[in-house]
Amino acid sequence: MAESRLHQLSARGQSVWIDYLSRDLLETGELKRMMEEDAVVGVTSNPTIFQKAISQGDAYDEQLRMLAEREQDAKEIFLHLAVRDVENALDLLAPVHQRNAQDGYVSIEVDPTLAYDTKATYEEAIRLHEWISRPNLYVKIPGTEPGLKAIDDCIADGRSINVTLLFSLQMHEKAMEAYVRGLERYVEAGGDATKVRSVASFFVSRVDTETDKRLEAIGSEEALALRGKLAIANARIAYQNYKQVFSGGRWEALEAKGALPQRCLWASTSTKNPEYRDVLYVEELIGPHTVNTMPEETIQAFQDHGEVRGDTVENDLDEAQALLNEKLPAVGVDYDDVVATLEKEGVQKFSDSFQELLDGVRAKRETVAA
C-alpha cells in the first residue's frame, strides 16, 4: 500500500488520533483498519460522542438489558457502557503504546458537570483510573481553574491526564505548570516519572467561529480582513510556549528521570466555516511532538487532498503575535473575552450533552427492560 497522506503527516512527528469512539467502530474492525490505513494511534471521547453512539442503533442494547436488571442510576449505566468500549479500544491500541509511550492512548472524560468542583473532579478521575486500570488510559479533565488543581493532584498521584477545553494561552500555560508541578510532587514522593503522561487539548476551530462572529458584527473592512486567522495564530503561539516550558533546568531535572513533555493536542480541528478549506486546521498546524485529533470527515478529507508542507506550526509567528497584540484590539475584539466565553460555553455544551446522554440512557433502559 502506498504511503497515505496521514502517514506522511505522522512522519513529521504529529500523531494522528480520532475524536470519536463507538461499539460499532470496534466490533466492525473499523478502528483496526484506521490504525493500519490512516496512521491512527490514539482515540479521544467525550459525552457528546457517546451520546450519539448510544442513541443510534442497537449495539448497546444487550449490555443495557443486563444492566437494567441491577442498576437504576443512569450515570452508572452509562459508565459501564463507556468503560467497555474504552477498555476494548485500549487493548487494541496496547501494542502502539508499547512501541511509543506517548501514543496508544484512549481518553474518557470525567462528568463535565463537575468542571468547577475540584474535589469531585479529582475523585472521579481517580475512580476511572482505578476502574479501567490500563497504562494507556487518559482521563480527561477540563482546564478550568478548579480543574487545574485536580489535574495537579492527579499527576502527583501518578495518573495520566488529558487536559481538555483549553482555549486561552494563559490557561494552557497553567495546564503545563500543573503537569510539571504534579510531576515534581510525584517524583519527590518516590514515583516513577516514566509512568505518567499528559496532553493539553488546545481547541482550534471554535476560536475562529467565535472571533469571526465578532468581526462580522463590527463589519469594517479591517475587521473582516482578520476572519479565519486567530485560531491558527493562537495555536502556533501555544506551541512556542510549550517549547519554552519543556526546556531549561527545571524541566531537564524531570526529563533525566524519564519524564516526557505534555504535548499539544490540537482539538476541534474540523472546519466549521464552509468558506474555509476543510483541512485548514490540520495543514496549518503540522509540527513534531504534537497530536491532531480529528473527526471522521476530516480524516477522510485529509486522506483525499490534504497537503503536508513541512512544520507549518512554526510559520508566521511574528504575524501571529501582531494579530493578538495589535490587530484584533485595534478593530475592537477582546481576546481575553473571546477565550473566556469559549471556555464557559464549552463547559456548558458538554454539560448539556451529558444530561442529554443520561436522559437517552434512561429512555433506552426503559425500552430494553420492557
Cβ pair 109, 75 in contact under 8 A = no
By the 8 A CB rule, do 143 and 175 touch?
Answer: yes
**Can you give the pLDDT at residue 2?**
54
Q: Three-state SS for 55? A: helix
Residue 52 has pLDDT above 90, yes or no: no
270 secondary structure, DSSP code: S
Per 3-state DSSP, what percentage of the chain is helix, strand, and coil (rounded to 5)? 60, 10, 30
The predicted pLDDT at position 73 comes to 93
Instruction: Supply the pTM of this predicted model.
Output: 0.96
**How many Å separate Cα 299 from the centre of its chain?**
16
- 51 compared with 82, residue with greater pLDDT: 82
Q: Name the average pLDDT for the chain.
A: 95
Contact of 94 with 100, CB cutoff 8 Å: no
| Cα radius of gyration (the chain) | 20
Q: Which three cell numbers stand for residue 330?
A: 485595534
| In the chain, where the domains are located | 5-369
Instruction: Supply angle C-alpha 221, 226, 230, rounded to 5.
Output: 165
Q: What does the alpha-carbon distance between residue 32 and residue 36 come to, in Å, rounded to a whole number?
A: 7
Angstrom distance (rounded) from CA 83 to CA 279 = 31
Q: Helix, strand, or coil here: 226?
A: coil
For cell 497515505, the residue is 4
Which of the four pLDDT bands, split at 50, 70 and 90, describes residue 125?
A: very high
Has residue 65 got a pLDDT over 80?
Answer: yes
pLDDT at 352: 92
Q: Is the pLDDT assigned to residue 218 strictly greater than 70?
A: yes
What is the structure's pLDDT at 91? 98
AA identity, residue 205: S
| Cα 356 off chain centre by | 21
Q: Where are the beta strands (DSSP E) in the chain?
A: 14-18, 40-43, 106-109, 137-142, 161-166, 198-203, 263-267, 290-294
- CATH number, span 5-369: 3.20.20.70
At residue 69, the pLDDT reads 86
Whether residue 215 contacts residue 208, with contact meaning beta carbons closer than 8 Å, is answered with: no
Q: What is the pLDDT of residues 326-343, one digit of tens each?
A: 999 999 999 999 999 999
Confidence of residue 363 (pLDDT cuts 50, 70, 90): confident
Give bridge partners of residue 137 from the DSSP assignment: 106
pLDDT mean over 41-62? 86
d(CA 314, CA 303): 23
- Per the CB < 8 A criterion, the answer to whether 182 and 154 are in contact is yes
In this prediction, residue 1 has a pLDDT band, given cuts at 50, 70 and 90, of very low
- Told to judge if 140 belongs to the known catalytic residues of this protein, a careful annotator would answer yes
CA 193 to chain centre: 22
d(CA 301, CA 103): 23
181-194: b (≥16 Cβ within 10 Å) or e: ebbbebbeeebebe
Q: Which of the residues 32, 52, 75, 140 is marked catalytic?
A: 140
The residue-averaged pLDDT of 206-211 equals: 98
**So what's the pLDDT on residue 209?**
97
